[in-house]
Amino acid sequence: MDISVTDKLLGVFGGTFDPLHIGHLRTVLDVQQALALQQIRMLPNYIPAHRQKPVLEAQQRYFLLQKALKETPGLVADDREIRRQGISYMVDTLADLKQQFPQKHLCLIVGGDAYRDFCKWHQWQDILQLAHLLVMKRAGLANQQNKELQQRVTTDKNRLLSVAAGNIVFLDVCQLEISSTRIREMIRQKQSVQFLVPEIIRSDLQTLYEG
Ligand code: ATP
């Protein structure tokens, strides 16, 4: 893959980030480095489409994300799903991004668990008209490939540049068995979450989740 032309690709990483943790950040950095992506936009959802209501408000989750990404220029906190309100469907987010960045090939980054359920996502076929899919292998999850999606899987990363959307690439990332659920649970049990979350937001988390 020709590194000099990869500013063509724009990484998109949506999540609840309730809260953001090192598992999100380290893996997304691995993706960024593997494809020499100039930028990955991280988008906290407003109302998640596929899970229960988050503990923190969207603005609080966005505040933490923004604070944690301050020193990391390639990773950008993007609040468009919060500004849009309503249920945060990724298809709408990608359509909006495509309008703002018409020349870019959007690359939607998902964890292995999210990929396993991808065919349950709202208008998932339309998502693949708007973006490529980058799947991060996640610890503890079998790398099951959905049969309907299998034909789109490629190991040729140049396909991400040659066509605008619709290919699926699996990426090896640092396997960190950390989840937001576990972080919330640890805070509830008054255990330290040091080294599991960005240090700069650690005390905010104690306050926000304990309060
Ligand atoms: P929760 O435990 O509350 O379900 P989570 O830790 O899975 O949260 P989300 O914000 O729901 O975090 O995840 C956003 C995206 O990040 C998803 O695509 C998910 O698969 C991915 N992800 C989360 N944690 C990791 C991790 N440790 N390694 C790789 N990917 C991860």
User: Is residue 209 domain-resident?
Assistant: no
Residue listed under structure tokens 């909006």? 96
* Residue 106 β-bridge partners: 10, 131
pLDDT in tens, 51-86: 889 999 999 999 999 999 998 989 999 999 999 999
User: Is residue 205 domain-resident?
Assistant: no
Question: What pLDDT score does 177 carry?
Answer: 87
Nearest CA to ligand 1 atom 15: 15
Q: Return the percentage of the chain with pLDDT > 90, whole number.
A: 80
Question: What pLDDT score does 113 carry?
Answer: 83
User: Is residue 182 domain-resident?
Assistant: no
pTM of the predicted model as reported, rounded to 2 decimal places: 0.93
Distance 137 CA to ligand 1 centre (A): 11
What's the CATH number where 120 sits? 3.40.50.620
User: Is residue 184 domain-resident?
Assistant: no
SS3 sequence, 91-102?
Answer: HHHHHHHHHHCC
Q: Determine whether the shortest distance from the Cβ of 167 to ligand 1 is under 6 A.
A: no
Structural domains of the chain, count = 1
Distance 90 CA to ligand 1 centre (A): 15
User: Is residue 197 domain-resident?
Assistant: no
User: Is residue 131 domain-resident?
Assistant: yes
Distances (CA, A) of 89 to 109, 133, 161, 176, 192: 15, 16, 25, 27, 34
Nearest CA to ligand 1 atom 28: 23
104 neighbors 10 (Cβ within 8 angstroms): yes
User: Is residue 12 domain-resident?
Assistant: yes
User: Is residue 162 domain-resident?
Assistant: yes
